[in-house]
Amino acid sequence: MLKQGGKCLRGIAIGLVAGAAALLLWHLGWLESWEAPTWTWRARFFALRESLSPKVKLILLDQPSLDWAQKENGWGWPWPREVYGAISAFCKRGGARVLALDLLFTEPAVLGGGDDEAMGKALREGPPAVLALMPGGSRTAWPDYMPRPSVKLDLPAATESAHLLFPVPEIAAGAAAAGHVTGTPDADGVFRRVALFCRFDGTDIPALGLTTCLMAQAEPVAVSAPQRQLRVGDKIVPLDRQGGAILRFRGRGGLPEAVSAAAVIQSELRLRENETPPLPPETFKDCYVFVGCSAPGLLDLRPTPVNAKCPGVILHATFVDNLLTDSFITEAAAPAVILGTMATAVAAALCLTYGGRWWQAGPLAIVWLAVPLVVGFAAYGKGQWWPVATPGVASGLALVGALAGNYLAEGRQKAFLKQAFRHYLSSDVIEKIIRDPKHLELGGEKRELTIMFTDLAGFSSFSERLGPVELTALLNDYLSEMTDIIMDEGGTLDKYEGDAIIAFWNAPLAQADHAVRACRAALRCQRRLAGRRGSDQQRTGASLRMRVGLNTGEVVVGNMGSRKRFNYTILGDAANLASRLEGANKAFGTETMVSGSTWQLAAAGFRARKLADLRVVGRKTAVPVYELTGFATEVVPTAWDTFAAGLARFREGKFAEAGHLFEQLPDDPAARSYARRCAELSAHPPASWDGVWGLTEK
């Protein structure tokens, strides 16, 4: 309990420190460059799935319009201002609610001759027109010829302009109102918000989009600014910390339905001649129409989150769309961001503190770095701007801190345990002990295992011919190679007893294919030993052969011994049978014998033949046993059919016939053993016969 409590406190402390560090970076503005890409991801993801209000339309002075004007009419830039009168007249025909021109008319017309007066007259006769005001120039006072906006708000964060550019009086006389087009991008140069008011000469000037909405109303609309909100009639615009509105760009490229200025002008001219226009007047019926520039040479392209080269008028059109559809993005409250960031950091730190393993850091990092992104996307879908970089950085710092804390607190202890036990236990056992020290306690559990016993044939005879040094070196090499194969197949080494090896599968970790692993390990060991016989013969004069017994059954497995010294081992009748099968190889001249219970689980992957129904010493019940010789893909020897026929006669008690068949296989050690046994039984027939080969010695 104390250890678990210590880990919990460590994780919480790391999370709090990581969260505080991330919040400090957020406060200093150092995470804005990381936040910007996530804003773009979210804005583009939702923009492609949403469309702007059909009540917002664009007329764009695009490159085709400039080309048409030059080719057909010889108009250079700037155009004669009478063409804007044609645009206003066409919008009037179609029943547009308001016409907003994101263009500057700050100098008298180049053509002169009443061009400005004609435009002003056309604007008066058309739908309510809103002109653009922009910072710049030398004017420091509000001109007498232009009425001041009636809106007066207490917005201390409103943009202040010392100089402002106004349209010439002749054009201003035809406008219903004016709105500012002051724009300030975020730190990365991308436009995401609109400053709702610009203050000049003591006057609060609404933005072009806001003015457009106000002019479109039949009755005056009350505008007020309670805390962090702007009320426009029954609509609410959430404000950011600077008093601006965060825009929700919608549609592919963030563009509403747009038409070419050339098409509008041609349509009006053709209608005046009673001809069919390219555009029906109803195109702009009951719409908020914005006129802006998209031709690159007109220098009014702005980067937005959804479009790197977007006409500047889009900012104002998007504001109107957001106001009409109540879809502005609300900035998350700072207390909520702080709480969410701290909670995320603490959760990430605790998760890795208890996860613990170094290889878990990667998946956990993916999860906990993805959590802020998922939350950010979900919040954006609900209309809220939730920072992603801040909790993401907090998660990253928490994970790094937790990983470092785990290493400092537990890494050295784990390294010591691995070094101390690696010679005695499999890596799986060591890992299990490290994860849960309770496995060092005495006790066991009942489980089905596949158990292997091995022994070197004739070890006593050749050990007498070797000196202690040569014998030790030979055994060390042999045991090392066999053990490596066993552990490579997921086996657990129980112990060595001289030249004998005892191992098992399916403990301490569960292995559904434990019988298959054990059989594969036995074959690999036998083939590795066969491959080194030549070098062993030259080196020591000894040729090693190994007997293997495999059995599958329930045993007790666990830590057994005294309270001061114990071993992770097995105990049970199934283990005794595996030991007996290893010794039973001597009676048949075979090298690898497996019980029927093992063969039943592994038969699909290997090649083996039935040897006998065997009754070993100490057991009354016979067990079927098989000689394991290879993998299932290998060719079955043709002599096995003869052996199987002889075995069938033997079990029936027809010893003479069986012996005759076995004698046909002089190169088969098991057949030779059966031939001798048949001769003995023929000479001395048993009083009763059950077809079982009974062993009289271990």
pLDDT per residue as tens digits for the range 25-59: 999 989 989 999 999 999 999 998 888 899 999 99
Q: What average pLDDT does the structure give for the chain? A: 88
Backbone phi, psi, residue 17, to 5°: -65, -45
pLDDT band for 219, please (50, 70, 90 cuts): low
Which two three-digit tokens encode residue 426? Answer: 């499999």
Question: Is beta strand 307-311 parallel, antiparallel or unpaired with respect to 384-385?
Answer: unpaired
At 303 the pLDDT is: 94
pLDDT at 231 over 90: no
Tokens 């005001």 appear where?
A: 133
Whole-Å CA distances, 543 to 458, 470, 562: 10, 13, 39
At 318 the pLDDT is: 95
What is the SS3 assignment for 154? coil
User: Residue type at 682?
Assistant: S
pLDDT tens column, 95-139: 999 999 999 999 998 777 689 999 999 999 999 999 999 998 889
pLDDT band for 8, please (50, 70, 90 cuts): confident
Share of the chain residues as helix, strand and coil, in percent rounded to the nearest 5: 50, 20, 30
Q: Which H helix or E strand runs over 282?
A: none
**pLDDT mean over 617-635:** 93
Nearest to 135 by CA among 205, 190, 202: 205
The correct CATH number of 442-634 out of 3.30.70.1230, 3.40.50.12780, 3.20.20.80, 3.30.470.20 is 3.30.70.1230
Nearest to 57 by CA among 248, 256, 267: 256
Quote the distance between the C-alpha of residue 317 and its chain's center.
37
pLDDT band for 573, please (50, 70, 90 cuts): very high
Question: DSSP state, 329?
Answer: B
Q: Where in the chain is the domain with CATH 3.30.70.1230?
A: 442-634
Whole-Å CA distances, 563 to 193, 381, 417, 507, 560: 72, 62, 18, 22, 9
User: Residue type at 473?
Assistant: A
Residues in the chain: 698
pLDDT tens column, 511-553: 999 999 999 999 999 999 999 988 888 877 777 899 999 999 9
**pLDDT mean over 67-91:** 92
Nearest to 153 by CA among 207, 213, 212, 101: 207
Quote the distance between the C-alpha of residue 546 and its chain's center.
50
Return the beta strands (E) in 542-621 as ranges.
Answer: 546-561, 566-571, 592-595, 606-615
Backbone phi, psi, residue 156, to 5°: -60, -20
Q: How far apart are CA 162 and CA 580, in angstroms?
A: 102
What is the SS3 assignment for 452? strand
Q: Please, is 559 exposed, middle or buried when counting C-beta atoms within 10 Å of its C-beta (0-12, 13-18, 19+)?
A: middle
pLDDT at 297 over 50: yes
Q: How far apart are CA 631 and CA 451, in angstroms?
A: 19
Q: How many CB atoms lie within 10 A of CB 410?
A: 14
Q: How far apart are CA 124 and CA 119, in angstroms?
A: 9
Nearest to 314 by CA among 253, 361, 395: 253
CB 518 within 8 Å of CB 450: yes
CB 581 within 8 Å of CB 453: yes
pLDDT tens column, 283-295: 999 999 999 999 9
CB 515 within 8 Å of CB 508: no
Here the contacts of 572-576 (C-beta below 8 Å, separation 24 or greater) are: 574/449, 574/451, 575/451, 575/504, 575/551, 576/618
At 2 the pLDDT is: 38
pLDDT tens column, 392-414: 999 999 988 888 887 777 666 66
At 184 the pLDDT is: 86
pLDDT at 246 over 50: yes
